Amino acid sequence: MASKEPEHEHREDEEAPAAEDEDTGAQVAPIVKLEEVAVSTGEENEDPILDLKSKLYRFDKEGNQWKERGAGTVKLLKHKETGKVRLVMRQSKTLKICANHLVLPTMTVQEHAGNDKSCLWHASDYADGELKDELFCIRFASVENCKTFMQMFQEVAESQKPKEENKDASDAAGQLEKLSFQEKAGEKAVAKKEENETKVDTEKADTENKDGEPASST
């Protein structure tokens, strides 16, 4: 007869625990090493003096219509060393630059005739990587924000005038004030002279009248 294998031997094989993975201590280096990269915005040497949410448009001369450049935050940034101020605006989601130009002393900002929350100005813009003469229109959420932008824009433009020009303007104002003072002093001197001459003439006339009177008889 053929012998039959004992059932307990099969049970031992089935119940025998699987061998655990041995820790060899080996370390696997990552295939790609990621390094931390510092991201530069180009605004590190500038201080923001204005920061407002808005929507920007540019006038398309060929199509003779306004085209939206993007909605985001418009900033006026003052350089810490040179003192120059530039206007920068980025789109909210993509952070794409839609306006980037210096604020020059020749620039002026004007109210939009049809919307008191909007204003317009001309600029040589560098947002697309090359200088372009652009006509911009910017719209804010409130009239107050629009007025704040316009006021700050004009103040910055005035402040960018050369110091020599500002000095000449101050000197001219001083000269005008000095001339005005001299004119007043001259008028007073002339009036005083006329008053003295009148007084002398009066005294002389009185003396002549006395000399011409007949002597009284006793």
For position 41, what pLDDT does the model report?
74
Better-predicted residue by pLDDT, 49 or 35: 49
| Across 14-18, 73-77, 151-155, 206-210, least confident range | 14-18
The average confidence (pLDDT) of the chain is 79
How remote is the C-alpha of 14 from its chain's centroid? Answer: 81
DSSP state of 36: -
pTM for this predicted structure: 0.59
| Contacts of residue 110, Cβ cutoff 8 Å, sequence gap at least 6 | 119, 120, 121
pLDDT tens across 171-188, in order?
A: 555 565 655 555 555 566
- Is the model's pLDDT at 212 over the cut of 50? yes
Question: Distance between CA 87 and CA 72 in Å, rounded?
Answer: 13
Percent of all residues in the chain with a pLDDT value above 90, rounded to a whole number: 52
According to the model, what pLDDT value does residue 8 have? 46
- CA 120 to CA 135: how far, in whole Å? 7
Residue 146 confidence (pLDDT) above 90: yes
DSSP three-state, residue 216? coil
β-bridge partners, 136: 58, 121
Most confident of 6-10, 45-49, 162-166: 45-49
Assign 192 a pLDDT band (cuts: 50, 70, 90).
low
Which residue in this structure is represented by tokens 């002398």? 200
What pLDDT score was predicted for residue 74?
98
**pLDDT at residue number 84:** 96
60-119 pLDDT tens trace: 999 999 999 999 999 999 999 999 999 999 999 999 999 999 999 999 999 999 899 999
Determine the pLDDT at residue 217.
Answer: 46
Give me the pLDDT at residue 119, please. 98
Q: Is 114 helix (H, G, I), strand (E, B) or coil?
A: coil
Q: Quick count: other Cβ atoms within 10 Å of Cβ 141? A: 12
Q: Which CATH number is associated with domain 46-160?
A: 2.30.29.30
Question: 144: pLDDT confidence band, cut at 50, 70 and 90?
Answer: very high
